[in-house]
Amino acid sequence: MGIRVVQLASAPPLPLCPMPDTDKPHATVDKPFLLSDGKVQLEASLDKAVYNHGDTILVNVTIQNNSSKTVRRIKVFIVQHVDVCMFSNGKFKNVVALINSKDECPLGPGSTLRRNYTLNPAKGA
């Protein structure tokens, strides 16, 4: 006896589904420090809004270090959130791609870094 698993991701209804060429996801975070002046500003954006299985994901990262601290490493990762609806509801999170980079580091006070990271999501990464 075998069990066959078929994954099918259908597109959400039109108002919730961004067009693939517009509305590219992006986020900006300011990180202040408790006992230090200034803050580090991180901006990340993706190259497109919708991805299919097997697609390579390009993450554009900009870091502005306006603090007196030094940035020693950069970690970029993708977390897959899964909602399972069977007999009882379950939610799972899996890291499917990870880059832990020390390239172009340390990033000293007053410096700016712009870099593209390419991630290939894989099962069990």
**Domain annotation covers residue 81:** yes
CATH code of 77's domain: 2.60.40.640
Q: Do 97 and 78 form a contact (C-beta atoms < 8 A)?
A: yes
Q: What average pLDDT does the structure give for the chain?
A: 82
Stretch 109-120: mean pLDDT: 95
**Domain annotation covers residue 114:** yes
**How many domains in the chain?**
1
Residue numbers of the domain that contains 109: 26-119
**Domain annotation covers residue 111:** yes
Rounded distance between C-alpha atoms, residue 88 and residue 90, angstroms: 6
**Domain annotation covers residue 39:** yes
User: pLDDT tens-digit profile of 34-60?
Assistant: 888 899 999 999 998 888 888 899 999
**Domain annotation covers residue 49:** yes
Residue 33 C-beta-side C-alpha neighbours within 13 Å:
14
